[in-house]
C-alpha cells in the first residue's frame, strides 16, 4: 500500500476524531490508529525496495550508455584504421573519432545526471513522507501520554475528594 495513502488515512482519522472541550486534545479510535500504523510498518520497506529498484535501473541505464559509447568508439577506431594510408583522411577520421567520443561521453554523462536527479527526487519524496509519518506517530504518542496523565490526575482528585 502507498505510504502517502496511509498518511492520508491517518490524517483523516485524526480529522474525524471528537475533540475534548476546552483542550487541544481529541479522542482517537485506538484500533484504527494502530491498524494504520501497522500498515505503515509494512509499506515503508516496500518504499525502500522501490527506491532500490530505481537505483538499479539507473545503474543499468548508465551501463548501457557506457556500452554504447564503447561501441561508437570502437566503430570510430575501426573506421580510422581503414583510412590510415591517407594523411588528410587519417586526420579527418581522428577528428571525427574524437568528436564522436566526446559526444558519447556527453550523452552518457547526461543520462547519468538525469538518472541521479530522478533517484534524488524519489528519495527526497520518500524522506518527506517518512518524516510526516514519524511526526504524526510522535504526536499520537504525545497525545496518549497527555491523556494518561490527565486521567491519572482526575482519578487522584476524585479519590482525594471522596476521602
The 10s digit of each residue's pLDDT in 66-95 is: 898 899 889 888 877 776 666 676 677 788
H/E element holding 91? helix 87-162
Examine residue 121 and state whether it is found in any structural domain, yes or no: yes
Beta carbons of 28 and 13 less than 8 angstroms apart: yes
- pLDDT tens for each residue of 19-70: 888 888 889 888 999 998 888 888 777 777 888 888 888 889 888 988 988 9
Grid coordinates standing for 100?
564522436
Share of the chain above pLDDT 70, in %: 94
Among left, alpha and beta (phi > 0; psi -120 to 50; other), residue 29 is beta
Examine residue 160 and state whether it is found in any structural domain, yes or no: no
Examine residue 58 and state whether it is found in any structural domain, yes or no: yes
Q: b/e for 23-44, b at 16 or more Cβ within 10 A?
A: eeeeebeeeebeebeebbeebb
Quote the CA–CA distance of 145 and 153 in Å, as a whole number. 12
Pairing of strands 18-19, 26-27: antiparallel
What pLDDT does residue 149 have?
87
Beta carbons of 30 and 71 less than 8 angstroms apart: no
DSSP state of 163: -
Number of domains in the chain: 1
Using the structure block, give the residue that is written with the C-alpha cell 527506491: 51
pTM for the model stands at 0.39
Examine residue 44 and state whether it is found in any structural domain, yes or no: yes
Helix ranges, 17-86 (H): 30-82
CA dihedral 123, 129, 133, 138 (to 10 degrees): 70
Grid coordinates standing for 101?
567520443
Parent domain of 55: 3-141
Examine residue 108 and state whether it is found in any structural domain, yes or no: yes
Amino acid at each position: 500500500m502507498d505510504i502517502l495513502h496511509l498518511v492520508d488515512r491517518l490524517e483523516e482519522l485524526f480529522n474525524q476524531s471528537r475533540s475534548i472541550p476546552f483542550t487541544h486534545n481529541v479522542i482517537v479510535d485506538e484500533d484504527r490508529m494502530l491498524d494504520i500504523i501497522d500498515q505503515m510498518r509494512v509499506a515503508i520497506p516496500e518504499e525502500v525496495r522501490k527506491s532500490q529498484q530505481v537505483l538499479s535501473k539507473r545503474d543499468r541505464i548508465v551501463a548501457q550508455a557506457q556500452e554504447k559509447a564503447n561501441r561508437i568508439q570502437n566503430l570510430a577506431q575501426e573506421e580510422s584504421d581503414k583510412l590510415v594510408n591517407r594523411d588528410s583522411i587519417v586526420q579527418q577520421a581522428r577528428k571525427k573519432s574524437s568528436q564522436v567520443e566526446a559526444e558519447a561521453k556527453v550523452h552518457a554523462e547526461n543520462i547519468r545526471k538525469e538518472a541521479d536527479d530522478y533517484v534524488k527526487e524519489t528519495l527526497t519524496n520518500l524522506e518527506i513522507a517518512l518524516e510526516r509519518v514519524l511526526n504524526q506517530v510522535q504526536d499520537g504518542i504525545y497525545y496518549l501520554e497527555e491523556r494518561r496523565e490527565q486521567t491519572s490526575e482526575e482519578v487522584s482528585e476524585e479519590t482525594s475528594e471522596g476521602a
